[in-house]
Amino acid sequence: MLAVDAVVELVNECSDAARAAAGEDGLPRPTVPALGALGDDPERCRRAADSLHGVFTDERGPVPALNDLLAATGVRPRLGTDGRLVWVAPADADMLLAGAVVSLVAWVDAHGTGRLGVCGAERCVDVFVDGSRAATRRYCSETCLNRSRVARWRSRRSAAGRARGRGAARQ
Ligand SMILES: [Zn+2]
């Protein structure tokens, strides 16, 4: 199973949607070293990332898309000889996508369906998993959180400025 943070990195670095929102369309396609050998092919990374981005953006929640991807990859559970649950994929499966799907399935199983999200900042569609106790995360990163705070402050300030301007015009 892949680390869920590495799966999030895969989606944010390699999906067409995230790259377009960040203005990175023209840049060379990246690999994801955190995924080891599975993450070393830019085209394989893009395909998996595009499929996985839909898990986070589906307005029905992550369950239907994850079940579709379980079916598409052919990943299924088995019991190992020690009696523990293991996941197996067909020999011809995309092992990157299969491993990422299992990782997200396990995350949702452990944390519920409401903790996979898309960044709330303007011009960012990066995704995140919310591991916070309160489950109130709205942004992909500190950078986007701060960017949004500044944008809200500017818009409040300009609204207040316009209100003052109208007041002065009436006098
Ligand atoms: Zn963001």
What is residue 160's predicted lDDT score, i.e. its pLDDT?
84
Structural contact between residues 31 and 43, judged by C-beta atoms closer than 8 angstroms: no
Q: Is residue 122 part of a domain?
A: no
DSSP 3-state of 118: strand
Q: Is residue 86 part of a domain?
A: yes
Ligand 1: distance of its center to the CA of 103 in Å? 22
Q: Is residue 93 part of a domain?
A: yes
Q: Is residue 147 part of a domain?
A: no
Q: Encode pLDDT of 40-67 as tens digits.
A: 999 999 999 999 999 999 999 999 999 9
The helix or strand, by DSSP H or E, that contains position 65, with its residue range, turns out to be: helix 62-73
Q: Is residue 150 part of a domain?
A: no
Q: Report the chain's terminal Cα–Cα distance, integer Å.
A: 69
Range of the domain at 10: 4-113
Q: Is residue 164 part of a domain?
A: no
* pLDDT > 70: percent of the chain: 96
- Looking at the structure of the chain, the number of domains it has is 1
If 0-12 CB within 10 Å is exposed, 13-18 middle and 19+ buried, where does residue 25 land? exposed
pLDDT tens series, the chain, 171 aa? 799 999 999 999 999 999 999 999 899 999 999 999 999 999 999 999 999 999 999 999 999 999 999 999 999 999 999 999 999 999 999 999 999 999 999 999 999 999 999 999 999 999 999 998 898 999 999 999 999 999 889 989 888 888 877 665 554
Ligand 1 is an ion; residues with CB less than 5 A from it: 119, 121, 124, 126, 140, 144
Ligand 1: distance of its center to the CA of 144 in Å? 5
Q: Is residue 32 part of a domain?
A: yes
11 is written with which tokens?
């989606």
Q: Is residue 58 part of a domain?
A: yes
